[in-house]
Structure 1
């Protein structure tokens, strides 16, 4: 075993240890619960744009993008555009012709202006419309045509019904050995006082419940538990789905 292989084996052993350490897992859940009270995810920007994601998840996405080398990344839910521009910048570093396709039911004018003036917008295309509307899915399918490696990220409406419909519509676009990433599955694990009263989702009605139903109906995907064991802090427990066939 050479030094590179030895280091890789050490990292794998570290992840095994984190997975088995119930105290660390419990502390991470407590920390995650408490930082959520302070809207922790809102604190970060990527190249000037609000990203509204945990840095830990963005590092995980960087690793996935490097390993997959996608020629198309589809993201539902654009908001301020930070995460889409983050993925675009990683594709820029990789070279080639890869780009990000962002889908949102309402791309607000001020956000669109800032997104389109950003230097990484050259690797970003936007579709405004409901992510599950047939005409939107058809537009996405036109972008997928001819692509060899497609990665999908779901981060729009978080109700069970909507996410399940997204999973059913977008999962066929994901290529083997790539990923279908579903954000905000942690909603199922949050205490009642952290469930937003002004939103239609909550315990029993959220991305995680949709993921579990979807996996019971679709054998192309499996949960990559090791990503969550490695991250400890993530908005997507059970949300990193590897396409295995």
Structure 2
């Protein structure tokens, strides 16, 4: 057998096995809960900017962008900017690979691939750091509520003309807010691309785990996802990432548009 095919088959068999491995699932859930309690996700940078994500989810975003090759990524929630810089750098990598494959010289100024980042409060020190970053030319920052009519209209206008659009939702994590974000931005996702809803794991953690936060069990991104999917059969949950990552903030949050 071709060794590349054999490796792929062996890997897939292992992943399938994870889905029925209760001990592995339990240990992963326990580790995730303890790691969140210890603020583990705050420990990492992407190209010099803090990125508040598990390394597993960073890897998942890389795989999604490589596989689906978007020319526009829309993200709600900016914080320190690591996530939008991650997406921008991966889009830059796509451009470089396209140029190599086409045998042409890469002209970064000619690329239309970009990231739109939205946040209700882009703090001055974060904005300055993002705007000074080498990936800044690929990033458009929008300050305002992601679910306000003005911001939604601005994003819809900015997304016109793009052929492949991916969306990542990671701002306010209440059911009402995430459902409104889904209604606003999921329709912009193009067939074959993803809407990734982060922090759906709130539903799987103990009640009141996040003190002084408005989201909780029964009121969080996962409940919003399941309500949205009832009326939107064009999207389906891709469980592949849940299973192979085992530790993720986004169980049931990788939504593929058919």
What TM-score comes out, normalization by structure 1 length? 0.97
SS of 1:192's partner is: coil
Is the Cα contact below 8 Å between 2:208 and 2:217 reproduced in 1? no
Kindly report structure 1 stretches of 4+ aligned residues shifted beyond 6 Å. Answer: none
C-alpha distance in structure 2 between counterparts of 1:195 and 1:155, whole Å: 16
SS of 1:204's partner is: coil
| Residue 209 of structure 1, aligned match among 223, 228, 239 | 223
Residue matched to 2:44: 44
User: CA RMSD of the aligned region, Å?
Assistant: 1.0
Match status 1:234 vs 2:248 = yes
Q: Residue deviations 1:178-204, cap 9 Å, x none?
A: 0000000011111135222x1111111
Deviation larger for 3-12 or 132-141: 3-12
Q: How many residues align?
A: 243
Residue matched to 2:125: 110
Residue matched to 2:214: 200
Residue matched to 2:92: 92
Match status 1:222 vs 2:236 = yes
Residue matched to 2:70: 70
Deviation larger for 80-89 or 187-196: 187-196
1:34 shift after superposition: 0.8
C-alpha distance in structure 2 between counterparts of 1:94 and 1:163, whole Å: 29
C-alpha distance in structure 2 between counterparts of 1:151 and 1:16, whole Å: 26
1:63 shift after superposition: 0.3
Residue matched to 1:133: 148
C-alpha distance in structure 2 between counterparts of 1:137 and 1:193, whole Å: 31
C-alpha distance in structure 1 between counterparts of 2:138 and 2:159, whole Å: 15
Structure 2 unaligned runs (5+)?
A: 96-110
Q: Residue deviations 1:24-43, cap 9 Å, x none?
A: 01110011111111011101
What TM-score comes out, normalization by structure 2 length? 0.92
1:144 shift after superposition: 1.4
Residue matched to 2:108: none
